[in-house]
A and B are shown apart, each in its own frame.
Chain A
Amino acid sequence: MSVSANDQTLKLQQAVAQALAHNTPLNIRGGGSKAFYGRAASGEPLCLREHCGIVNYHPSELVVTARTGTLLTELERILAEESQMLAFEPPHFGETATLGGTIACGFSGPRRPFAGSARDSVLGCRIINGKAEVLSFGGEVIKNVAGFDVSRLMAGAMGTLGVLLEVSLKVLPQPEAERTCRFELPVFGALDRMARLASEPLPVSGLSYDGCALHVRLSGAEKAVRVAAARIGGDQTEDDGGYWRALNEQRLDFFRAETNVWRLSLPPASQPLALSGDWFYDWAGGLRWLKTDEPAEAVFTAAERARGHAVLFKGRNRGADVFQPLTGKLKELNRNIKQAFDPGGLFNPQRMYRDW
């Protein structure tokens, strides 16, 4: 199946060449649904929305290739027609979310610890680099070790390394059945229970704790899900996925915040960190949302001490550090890689870090 649609490659390449010639920084935009994320955007808008459409989809290959302006809802609908899905369960944060923005931000939903991340799903990409060259990396096969893994590097790079044109993703069959069990527990009990559930051979696909209740999602064959639910107990909810969607899209009450909202990625069994504020635990404890007025410095330091890192997910001061500050050789390597792809500093300047 190959649905032809607008291929804007040439036009986009010309736009980048122009920007290069005139030294004009570009602000790469998909649907604008994640404009809130990262440091404040600047530069001439380069709109990818019209560069859309499925390029290749063979369900029996478990691979789909699409242009990056394709709406996420559209992509998910096409996969669902074949009972398949994006394993990393990306949040949308709005109806206009595109594939490109989803990969550039590298967001993954509650299924992530059990089925892999956005980056894990990426198999290949076409990009325009900062020299206005159209380049392809990776491909449409699941195993491919020819050349450095540039495609996965693009996930989470916030568009700072190049304009994503096409992305190939591994997809998975939808589970036949899903069910959610709920337990009311204090925080230590919840962390402990999450660690134990994640270590057992159960078809777990979601483990979150909101400070009061632990939610366990099970996915798989009807019978396996039923037996697993009986084995772990708790209150069986009649949830049809609504809770998990609301969590993923940050529509739960917790996320209605006046304060800064931080995202901390930590070893899952980490003890609760000594930072004031309200916590929400996802990914079996590996992803923690924190509503706090603590200074950024304190959050970054605590995250690093716990062998993780922090991002100011929704915050008031987007001119300051939003992503975990880098130091020493790691900082140098990050800057060198930016240079290697975008020597003129054209793409999304300072969207990730102040110095590039």
Chain B
Amino acid sequence: MITTHPHPSEKIHHQVDRNRLLEEFRRLLPPASILTEAEALRPYECDGLSMYRCLPWVVLLPENVEQIQRIMKICSRHGVPVVARGGGTGLAGSALPLENGVLLVLSKLNRILELDPANRLARVQPGVRNIVVSEAARPYGLFYAPDPSSQIACTLGGNIAENAGGVHCLKYGLTTHNVLEVRIVTMDGELVTLGSGGLDGPGLDLLALMVGSEGLLGIAVEIAVKLLPLPEDTQVVMAAFDEVEKAGRAVSEIIAGGLLPAGLEMMDHAIIRAAEDFVGAGYPAEAEAILIVEFDGMREQVEEDLARALGLLDACGAYRLDVAATPADRQKLWAGRKSAFPAAGRISPDYYCMDGTIPRRFLAETLKKIADLSRQYGLAVANVFHAGDGNLHPLILYDAAKSGELARAEQLGGAILEHCIAVGGTITGEHGVGIEKINQMCLQFQANELQQFQAVKRAFDVEGLLNPGKAVPSLHRCAEWGAMHVHQGRLRFSDIERF
């Protein structure tokens, strides 16, 4: 566990007296909406990346938009930083609280405001959990496409902030492709509507900036998402391979062949075994890699796609092809994939989930590289991928109780991310940068690109009070980290003063 303090250059300093501030909040919120005691604050000290913790200064649980506006005005006036929190399932520490800041928890804003089947739209509050939207839409034959594996717990507000994906992104897109309108409260307490009830909005596309902004630009307080018709038919096939390279090639062949699967997932030997022991999904325990390929849509389309996919998988050397015969079989095949994280938790005391993305053609090469790094750092790695879109989730297995293992896990993770950048990919596909990958941002972007991000941040939040120290590093941080971390012989940010 790491108790984190913000980087000195990213810390917001203020001298505000906590009790005086609480008095202002008490005039605004019922007692149950204000948490101040250590034991009440404890559950909020971390998000899904539990290795980083910090006890929040104050936790507020507003019940409506007006309260949020007034809270923001108060914080803005006093120069007190604010961190938003939805379900707290984030895996990058984006919702990590501040020791001198307000944690704004949106869980009480959990109502579906409108379900409009004619316009295929759902209007919800930010604390609504992801799965609830699809459940509410189902009676109308509709669903909300982005389906992160955490969908029973994560919220739409958190999904907006992280631009969450899921196993169906290849065909249906990410959160950004499925959001029509977001009302935000800015740091100065103003309410603004981004996007519209149509398919695009007036002015610059600020909605594009808001989605994936990790709580740095505004608080999402009302969200309108697009709903799609439920597919008529769904088919899933599990393909087993005796070499990882063959599975990697099959992925490329399927895409190059003009097929657009709803899901295309890959699991390696270590995670197949773990998942099989955990849920008994029927995976062949000896396989080096399996692919799970799903097609959905109109029955005749699915039939045709599946037949072509089976041919391609066979040609790429799959030694076993199981097509789920019933919905129950299909659920079972997915159960293994969906339980990959908890399954990893059973074979190792701790695991650390990475989120790099690479161009698909480097899949096999990247797996080899990860295996090398795993040997080099002496820590096992189990791999699950959203293979269709090149998004890797290597799970680094370690034991925090053993001295030095957490630090090694972090270094190994960093090395994997650098490889992702080197082959033209990115350090994060869907989990976000947060506090976890903030140093690697200094590798992925040049100083003037980071400055451009900072300018965007200032356009929404002049004082930098919203979620400081996350997602976008200061150049001082980069200079300091760069001094320790000379990349490919080049010292980056060499012109920035170090301290």
Which A positions have Cβ atoms within 8 angstroms of B? 58-63, 83, 106, 112-113, 116-117, 119-120, 129, 131, 133, 135-137, 139-150, 152-153, 155-157, 160-161, 172-174, 176, 195, 198-203, 220-221, 223-224, 227-228, 265-269, 283, 286-287, 306-309, 323-324, 326, 328-331, 333-334, 336-341, 352-353
Chain A residues contacting B425 (CB-CB under 8 Å) are 139, 141
Interface-central residue, A137, A143, A341, by most chain B CB under 10 Å: A143
B298 x A143 contact (CB < 8 A): no
Q: How far is the CB of B284 from chain A (nearest CB, A)?
A: 26
A203 to B302, CA, bound (A): 11
Q: Which of B169, B198, B300, B304 contacts A307 (CB 8 A)?
A: B198
Residues A267 and B198 in contact in the complex (CB < 8 Å), given A58-B359, A220-B301, A333-B206: yes
Residues A172 and B260 in contact in the complex (CB < 8 Å), given A141-B426, A142-B169, A143-B390: yes
Q: With an 8 A cutoff between CB atoms, is B163 at the interface?
A: yes
Q: Which of A147, A203, A309 contacts B449 (CB 8 A)?
A: A147
A66 to B358, CA, bound (A): 19
Q: Which residue of A lies closest to B454 (CB)?
A: A340
Q: Which of B190, B197, B391, B428 contacts A266 (CB 8 A)?
A: B197
A92 to B165, CA, bound (A): 32
Those 4 A-B pairs whose CB atoms lie nearest each other, nearest first: A307-B197, A336-B459, A173-B258, A152-B208
Contact stretch, chosen from B24-32, B228-236, B272-280: B228-236
Chain B residues contacting A221 (CB-CB under 8 Å) are 300-301, 304-305
| 21 pairs from A and B in contact (CB 8 Å cutoff) | A61-B360, A117-B199, A135-B448, A137-B449, A140-B424, A141-B424, A143-B165, A143-B389, A146-B441, A148-B209, A148-B212, A150-B453, A157-B205, A160-B204, A198-B229, A201-B231, A265-B199, A307-B197, A329-B190, A331-B203, A333-B460
CB neighbors of A among B438-474 (8 A): 441, 444-446, 448-449, 452-453, 455-460, 471-472
B298 x A135 contact (CB < 8 A): no
Q: How far is the CB of A42 from chain B (nearest CB, A)?
A: 20
B208 x A143 contact (CB < 8 A): no
Q: With an 8 A cutoff between CB atoms, is B118 at the interface?
A: yes
Q: Which residue of B lies closest to A223 (CB)?
A: B300
Q: With an 8 A cutoff between CB atoms, is B177 at the interface?
A: yes
Q: Which of B118, B173, B192 contacts A329 (CB 8 A)?
A: B192
B449 x A135 contact (CB < 8 A): yes
Q: With an 8 A cutoff between CB atoms, is B202 at the interface?
A: yes
CB neighbors of A among B154-211 (8 A): 162-163, 165, 169-170, 173-174, 176-177, 186, 190-194, 196-206, 208-209, 211
A157 to B456, CA, bound (A): 15
Chain B residues contacting A328 (CB-CB under 8 Å) are 190, 192
Q: Which residue of A lies closest to B232 (CB)?
A: A201
Interface-central residue, A60, A283, A331, by most chain B CB under 10 Å: A60
Q: How far is the CB of B147 from chain A (nearest CB, A)?
A: 14
Residues A141 and B300 in contact in the complex (CB < 8 Å), given A60-B361, A199-B229, A201-B230: no
B208 x A334 contact (CB < 8 A): no
A199 x B169 contact (CB < 8 A): no
Q: How far is the CB of A193 from chain B (nearest CB, A)?
A: 12
Q: How far is the CB of B473 from chain A (nearest CB, A)?
A: 10
Q: With an 8 A cutoff between CB atoms, is B432 at the interface?
A: yes
A268 to B117, CA, bound (A): 11
A199 to B258, CA, bound (A): 25
Q: How far is the CB of A109 from chain B (nearest CB, A)?
A: 12
Chain A residues contacting B169 (CB-CB under 8 Å) are 142-143
Q: Which residue of A lies closest to B233 (CB)?
A: A201
Residues A141 and B429 in contact in the complex (CB < 8 Å), given A201-B232, A223-B304: yes
Q: How far is the CB of A158 from chain B (nearest CB, A)?
A: 9
Q: Which residue of A lies closest to B141 (CB)?
A: A199
